Structure 1
Amino acid sequence: MSAAPLLLAGGMVADPLAGEASRRDLLIENGRIAAIAAPGAIGRPDAQRFDASDRLILPAFVNAHTHGHANLVKGVAERWTLEASLTNGPWLAGARDPETIYLSTLLGALDMLSKGCTSCFDLVYEFPRPTLEGFLAVANGYADAGMKAVLAPMVADLNLFQAVPGLMDSLPEDLHETVGRFQLANGDETIAAMEAIFAARDRLPPGISLAIAPTIPHHCSERFLMQCVDLAERHDLPIHMHIAESRLQATSARKLWGVSPVRRLADLGVLRPSFIAAHAVWLDGRDLDILAAHHCSVAQIPASNFRLGAGIAHVRPMLERGLRVGLATDGANSSDALSMLQATRLASYASRVFDAPRETWLDAAETLRLATSGGGALPGLGHSGRIETGAAADLVLFDLSHIDFMPLTDPLNQIVTAADSASITDVFADGRHVVAGRKLQTIDPTTLRERVADSVARLSASLADARALAGRLEPHVVAFADSQRDEPLPVARHLPVEGRAFA
């Protein structure tokens, strides 16, 4: 039985697509926006009335790239680079039963919902390979929280030490054998595991769909990568990959293939309209031209890029080429807050660091488009993030009496520059009231505290040896990455430091 119609009456509706905010009534019926009109113009006496006169209504945020497996390691990273994070990857996502995987996903979903995000693209990682049981646990975690999600097994057949040229040789001799413990599953076994997941897609809850994520180009042998592409084609799945996230990734591609990772993927026939490039930090104009020519998309992830010191992606040239760009948080191990408001603000500010006229900076409406309809336009995400007739009723309501909006000068600008999650009062996902009066309605997060603590304690005990090994390896990996900073690249995404010419 469908819920009764709901009328959000008299709210200040902020439309990033139009770049304006105005008073409107919104009628929600069967999970969708059935009508938008001036206050008082929708004659539906059968609808439940919600007085939104003191609310600013925005399309709910769409998180274009996250990792649900990382939610139990929030706060673990301290001055980690990307390479340090990858070194710690096996214990960050290892030795987890379906209940632990479910709990990690649920925790992150509730976090995102409380901050106004109702849809995400999750690159799901299990070490050493994905499992159907773990994947279904992730799907149920999102569904139970009330979120929609695209889930992509994040896979590779080469570990960090096999993938990066020269890295293994840089390790002390006594560590050479121990890195074998980081060995991933055989590529054919991983492909078979994904086949089992995709064959069970009818077991997914409503609102959950599939994709595939061969994680990083040089972490995938050519044979394995093309097997992934074949899976994507046979099952009609988007492909989502980390592309040139760090300087070392960009230089490794050139050492291996003599070309950028984007050129390599184009030559192999991997790029297509359903391809999403995550991060895309160390790319030049030619790379962006290639992505645009293949009608690809980009997930821009500023909080993680800052947190890991990966560099600052230049978004304006992407938009100028017509690339679809969505904003994202990344996982809680590198963007701990899982806050799309934070991602929005950082994206706005990051656009100002380049030596270019202020007209190239992202303005408020444009930045909010990236965080809402921009992410919603990425393959798999169902054109969400819009307030228009027929669209899913995914909405976030801000309290106009909150100090963030005093005085109310420019609603769109103040969401970007002033608002934080404390001013969010209500969130609707497919018309379902999942946050009401600042309280989550699907699951009480206070009931999770003890379960989370117990789960983290068990993981800490079972993964102590793997974490200790990563701790031994980490300084050597980071030192190797630092030693490669002088390798030439056509772009600079770090500011130079006096006395040393960092690229």
Structure 2
Amino acid sequence: MLSVICNGRLVDGRTYNGEFLNIVIENDTIIEILEPDCKLPDNATTIDAKKNIVLPGLINAHTHGDTSLAKGLGDRWTLELLLNASPLTSESFRLQDKSLAARLSAVEMLLNGCTACYDLFSDFPIPELQSLEAVGEAYKKVGMRAVIAPLMADRTFWQAVPGMLDALPNHLSRKIDQISTAPGDTVIASVRHALKNWTHTDSIHLGLAPTIPYHCESTFFKSCRGLADEFGARIHSHLGESKMQAVVGQQLFGCSLTEYLDTLGIVSSDFTAAHCVWLNQQDIERLADRGAHVAHNPTSNLRLGTGVAKTREMIKAGINVGIGTDANTCSDGLNMFEAMRMAAYVSRIHQPDPDYWLSAKDVLLMATEGSAKALGLEDQIGRIAPKFKADLVFIDTRAIQYTPLNNARRQIIFQENGSGVKDVMVGGKLVVQDRKPVGIDYDDLRDKVSESIVRIRRISADQEAMVRSLEPVVSKFCVGLSSTALPIDRYIGL
């Protein structure tokens, strides 16, 4: 089946910046880009994109779909306080809660022009095939592409940080002792079963996400590498997100976390490192040499006060950098327009030379082609070009942010907030039309989410009380640990 998108203004991170061009689509794939005066194919369905910018679907290189039910839980949370609150996010979820969370995340992303994501979904304590299939089906039903990489660890946050358990009062320590991860070999066996029996091979892929280097034994990480090699799956991990992580890495391993993972054989062309704030130049060069990818999450880094990543240095070294939103608990919206704008802004506080700053073109390329490479889908998505999937976003140029329309690409990056998104297409099919999701009943989804939250809040009341009691102790301990001097500094201040 042929269709032609006519009269639209194309924008991408390469060459298009508002030119009127026609896009010819066969089934789910772009086959040709035509000048406006070219003859259109016979028997093609015409889609009029008049008064629309047509953009490649944005790609979220790092998020956590399970946290869509945990919006608004924290305010002045550091990363460590967010991890301390993990019992409030998804640990009490039933199967239907996991499906609801994934659907809600997918809808939010699609409404904001995002057509694919790398979702590090938490299925605590053991990622199971049934749960992961439910998450995959949720994305598929809404109409989004996804790489689902379940978070995995064989230590809890409190166990992983040296000295933290000893710093807790006895009554809180006893409560923490009741929270445990599953044995590492059990987790690995369950994920192996999921990879072996995974059936969503067209638009939903399965990956691995050993969460934070020192939350996992070295043998656990090596087992993840073995699974990735055996099944052709990708690996995604948080790396150098906060100063405390960098400090703990030095204490435990005598080297940076990047070097540690490299000695385990983890860092490779199928590896995506999220955040990478507290990396030194040697770490950056190591990632570049191995062909690894970075998922830059500037909004989350600012929200959690972890510092500012040196993305320009990464790009100069040859690292592929994508852009992510991170989670609803720390970003707070799954809005790639906000993430792109913030990526451009924070690049400008390192130094006054504008040649060092990320441009609108840079960040749009990162959020499309860069993120596609991080997902391992660079030959399928992220571009408006022949042989690429017809994943497209239609932005209404009548919106206030485009009046007047002087430079389409710049106005998308520096002014668009998602409100201009009118339609979204994935694989040649409209999944958002007139600002409404097509594949699901949003009112029904909202009602079910509301019902689910009442139950979750009721059964997690004891955990919430524990988390709030832990917060001042955990904060004091982690802030103290973070005061340890390091050769690098990623805070912006005196």
Normalising by the residue count of structure 2, what TM-score does the alignment of the two structures yield?
A: 0.97
Q: Does 1:367 align with 2:349?
A: no
Q: What amino acid sits opposite 1:143 in the alignment?
A: K
Cα separation, 2, equivalents of 1:82 and 1:205: 34
Change (3 A) 1:88 1:16: same
Cα separation, 2, equivalents of 1:144 and 1:8: 24
Residue 132 of structure 1 is matched in structure 2 by: 129
Q: Does 1:198 align with 2:195?
A: yes
- Picking from 434, 446, 449, the partner of 1:449 is 446
Q: How does 1:229-268 map to 2 (within 5 A)?
A: 229-268=225-264
Cα separation, 2, equivalents of 1:19 and 1:362: 18
> Can you list the C-alpha shifts for 1:74-103, whole angstroms capped at 9, x where unaligned?
122211111011011133111222111001
Cα separation, 1, equivalents of 2:19 and 2:437: 27
> Can you list the C-alpha shifts for 1:361-419, whole angstroms capped at 9, x where unaligned?
01111110011111011143344110101111011111111111111111100001111
Verify the 8 A CA contact 2:308 2:492 in the aligned structure 1.
no
Residue 203 of structure 2 is matched in structure 1 by: 207
Cα separation, 2, equivalents of 1:246 and 1:42: 56
Cα separation, 1, equivalents of 2:441 and 2:332: 21
Q: Does 1:68 align with 2:59?
A: no
Moved more, 108-117 or 348-357: 348-357
Change (3 A) 1:82 1:356: same
Q: Does 1:164 align with 2:161?
A: yes
Verify the 8 A CA contact 1:19 1:365 in the aligned structure 2.
no
Residue 421 of structure 1 is matched in structure 2 by: 418
Residue 30 of structure 1 is matched in structure 2 by: 27
Q: What amino acid sits opposite 1:53 in the alignment?
A: K
| Shift, 1:200, TM fit | 1.4
Q: What amino acid sits opposite 2:138 in the alignment?
A: G
| Shift, 1:447, TM fit | 1.7
Q: How does 1:114-125 map to 2 (within 5 A)?
A: 114-125=111-122
Change (3 A) 1:351 1:119: same
| Shift, 1:213, TM fit | 0.6
Residue 86 of structure 2 is matched in structure 1 by: 89
Q: How does 1:272-283 map to 2 (within 5 A)?
A: 272-283=268-279
Q: Does 1:106 align with 2:103?
A: yes
Cα separation, 2, equivalents of 1:103 and 1:205: 22
Q: How does 1:277-426 map to 2 (within 5 A)?
A: 277-383=273-379, 384-426=381-423
Q: What amino acid sits opposite 1:398 in the alignment?
A: I
Verify the 8 A CA contact 1:376 1:382 in the aligned structure 2.
yes
Residue 20 of structure 1 is matched in structure 2 by: 17
Residue 500 of structure 1 is matched in structure 2 by: none
| Shift, 1:206, TM fit | 3.2
| Shift, 1:17, TM fit | 1.5
Structure 2 residue matching 1:313: 3-state secondary structure: coil
Cα separation, 1, equivalents of 2:459 and 2:202: 34
Verify the 8 A CA contact 1:303 1:343 in the aligned structure 2.
yes
Structure 2 residue matching 1:338: 3-state secondary structure: coil
Cα separation, 2, equivalents of 1:248 and 1:255: 10
Structure 1: which 5+ residue stretches go unaligned? 498-503
> Can you list the C-alpha shifts for 1:442-466, whole angstroms capped at 9, x where unaligned?
1131221211111001111111112
Residue 490 of structure 2 is matched in structure 1 by: 493
Q: What amino acid sits opposite 1:139 in the alignment?
A: G
> Can you list the C-alpha shifts for 1:118-163, whole angstroms capped at 9, x where unaligned?
1000112122121221111100110000001001121000111111
Q: Does 1:145 align with 2:133?
A: no
Q: What amino acid sits opposite 1:50 in the alignment?
A: I
Q: Does 1:40 align with 2:42?
A: no
Verify the 8 A CA contact 2:302 2:308 in the aligned structure 1.
yes
Verify the 8 A CA contact 1:55 1:397 in the aligned structure 2.
yes
Q: What amino acid sits opposite 1:442 in the alignment?
A: G
Cα separation, 2, equivalents of 1:293 and 1:187: 30
Could you list the structure 1 runs, at least 4 aligned residues long, displaced by more than 4 angstroms after superposition.
none
Cα separation, 2, equivalents of 1:233 and 1:210: 13
Q: How many positions carry a matched residue from both structures?
A: 493
| Shift, 1:34, TM fit | 1.5
Cα separation, 2, equivalents of 1:30 and 1:318: 38
| Shift, 1:205, TM fit | 6.4
Q: Does 1:80 align with 2:77?
A: yes
Change (3 A) 1:19 1:165: farther
| Shift, 1:477, TM fit | 1.1
Cα separation, 2, equivalents of 1:131 and 1:195: 10
Structure 1 residue matching 2:150: 3-state secondary structure: strand
Q: What amino acid sits opposite 1:372 in the alignment?
A: T
Q: What amino acid sits opposite 1:193 in the alignment?
A: S
Residue 476 of structure 1 is matched in structure 2 by: 473
Cα separation, 1, equivalents of 2:201 and 2:226: 25
Verify the 8 A CA contact 1:150 1:381 in the aligned structure 2.
no
Normalising by the residue count of structure 1, what TM-score does the alignment of the two structures yield?
A: 0.96
Cα separation, 1, equivalents of 2:5 and 2:81: 47
Structure 1 residue matching 2:221: 3-state secondary structure: helix
Cα separation, 2, equivalents of 1:55 and 1:225: 47
Residue 434 of structure 1 is matched in structure 2 by: 431
Structure 1 residue matching 2:237: 3-state secondary structure: strand
Give the percent of matched residue pairs that are identical in Structure 1 and Structure 2: 36
Verify the 8 A CA contact 1:282 1:313 in the aligned structure 2.
yes
| Shift, 1:182, TM fit | 2.2
Q: What amino acid sits opposite 1:329 in the alignment?
A: T
Structure 2 residue matching 1:124: 3-state secondary structure: coil
Superposition CA RMSD, Å: 1.3
Q: What amino acid sits opposite 1:20 in the alignment?
A: N
Moved more, 471-480 or 426-435: 471-480
Q: What amino acid sits opposite 1:353 in the alignment?
A: I
Cα separation, 2, equivalents of 1:355 and 1:38: 42
